[in-house]
Structure 1
Amino acid sequence: MAAVAIMATTGCGAIESAGAKANTKNVAVPASLSDGVLQVATDPTYPPFEYRDSVTNEIIGIDPSLARAIGKELGVKVDFKVIGFDTLIPGLDAGRFDVAMSDVGDSADRRKKVDFVDYAKTLDVLLVPRGSSLVAAESMADLCGHSIAAQLGTLEIGWLQAASAKCVSNGKPAISVKVFPGSPAALLALTTNRVDGFMSDSVAAAFTMKTSAAAKLTIAKLRYEYGGLLGIAAPKDDVQLQKALAGALAKIMANGTYGRLMDKYGLRDLKLDAPRLNQGK
């Protein structure tokens, strides 16, 4: 039986102490879900995390699959709200939906407005054209003087901007950070040589390398590990909802559903052994 390793951090309501045993028998449904519906906001443009089935147009991927499994444990219907990635946190903060699940990294800046129930580790890589000199890039310092794409609203923008500032302080050309509304637009810019690289989640990059884009692209040596976690974004200090999400997540971790879904979508190396609260960096 998995332990719910959720810890309260400063400014975030206390839920359980680290190592508290998960309730795998009954998960209390919070008052905010009294209508029997869990409204999940997502931007389905980032496979394999969330995207549309090319035949049925159904929203699929690891996040929708986990959301449906969590909804089943809570005994509620899951209703997906499709919005742009950059509006997920503002929309949740404004109370327009219950949670956001869209490969959302748990960061200190985002925790100013929302809380996170973390469910996976993360790692970033650099997608570049085949034959590019950036194939050999091993650190962010190697990106000085290059144009690098990032998706609107993502943490990658801040990382690239910080790296660019270091380039300039070291007397090197800045990184030209190009922001696109979604992964498809960034990939199109990369394959048409409008940018030199695209900072992407490692799993999303691996998924891209299984598509026709692989003929033009490859993954550079650079591995950006920042100890990050992906989380279900929930309203700030809604302890009842966070308990319910963590409890349902612990149950699907214990019964094997979580592991099967993570394996299905190629995320086996990013698994957590228990849910965590606000533990991203």
Structure 2
Amino acid sequence: MNRPPLARLAAASALLALLTACGSTTTPTAVRATAADATALPTQDVVSHLKADPALAAQLPEAVRSRGTLLLGTTQAVGSSSLPHGGQDPSGKEVGLDIDLREAVAKLLGVRWDVQYGTFPTVIPGVQNGKYDVGQDNFGVTKAREQVVDFATYLEDGQSFLGAKDLDLASVATLADLCGHTVATSPGTTFQQILTQGAALCAAAGKKPYTVQYFAETAPIFLGLANGKVDIYFGPTLSLKYDAAHLPGTKYLGQLSSTPVGFVTAKGSPVGKALAAAVNKLIADGDYDRIFAKWGVAGTGVKQSLLNPPAAL
């Protein structure tokens, strides 16, 4: 951690002031829910004009069509902690790329979402045991996950790195660049899987290994970046690019790899096929691109929604 002590102190003091001003030090909201972020949220309506497509709706099970809802398992978007994927506007309403996408899909399928909140580690098991019809939480496609659930892809996200401005690295291109540094990430994710698989790389190269710290929320990660206890945050590309643009004292270090992200459904459920078909209609009609442009992440979508694409991880 080759950062000047005064720079660390200044960064930590600035972040602590932000945490105090937001009234909480226990949730990710505290770090990114600034007035500037709130006023910068895009407000274009890119969903309400969409109408139900009878052919798409017919692909849903009769039980779903009869009740008019799909049970969605997800984590609750709080403040601006997970933008551009999801967050809250000043009124507390959930907003974000993922929210617009799922609302657009529901419009085409002629149903509403019955949103039920869980935690990242509990959503996929909830889909498996029938608690939810669909899971959505920026789930990347992996071989292990495809063994227990189906994926209907709707965007391409990646695995990227964020560091403090005064970090002694200008960029990170491979896991070997992390050697000797402290890396923070979330448990139970593809990020943990990648870091675990690469743990022996540094020793093989004769370098000091990287140290990994796991946090269920992002607030302690950002605080760690500010006070020098964390060198690098390994997380989703879209979120980290947003962080670098909105959090003072941070810099985007680059992307390691990319992964398709999708809605998850029970194995063999017809709901997965219906979701993929709805996303593909959004793509064909141009509504998909309008949603991505609204959130400033044009070019990160998929050309086609696939059901269970080959997994690289």
* Structure that is richer in strand per residue: 1
Which residue is equivalent to 1:216? 249
Is the deviation greater in 135-144 or in 165-174?
165-174
Asked if residue 26 in structure 1 is aligned to residue 58 in structure 2, the reply is no
1:73-222 paired onto structure 2 within 5 Å: 73-211=108-246, 213=247, 215-220=248-253, 222=254
Listed one character per residue, the Cα deviations across residues 25-57 of structure 1 (whole Å, up to 9, x for unaligned) are: 61112235242111222222421112222x121
Counterpart residue type for residue 47 of structure 1: L
CA 1:189–1:84 in 2, change beyond 3 Å: closer, same or farther? Answer: farther
SS at match of 1:209: helix
Deviation at 1:86, TM superposition (A): 2.0
CA 1:134–1:31 in 2, change beyond 3 Å: closer, same or farther? Answer: farther
Match of 2:264 among 230, 233, 252: 233
8 Å contact from structure 1 (residues 106, 116) kept in 2? yes
CA 1:193–1:134 in 2, change beyond 3 Å: closer, same or farther? Answer: same
| Greater relative CO (CA pairs within 8 A, separation 6+) | 1
8 Å contact from structure 1 (residues 116, 278) kept in 2? yes
* Structure that is richer in helix per residue: 2
Aligned-residue CA RMSD in angstroms? 1.8
TM-score (normalised: structure 2)? 0.75
Percent identity of paired positions between Structure 1 and Structure 2: 27
Rg larger in 1 or in 2? 2
Which residue is equivalent to 1:41? 73
- Distance, in Å, in 1 between the alignment partners of 2:169 and 2:163 is 7
Runs of 4+ in 1 over 6 A off after TM superposition: none
Listed one character per residue, the Cα deviations across residues 230-266 of structure 1 (whole Å, up to 9, x for unaligned) are: 111111111x111211121122222222111111122
Match of 1:262 among 281, 292, 304: 292
Counterpart residue type for residue 236 of structure 2: D
8 Å contact from structure 1 (residues 50, 102) kept in 2? no
Counterpart residue type for residue 51 of structure 1: G
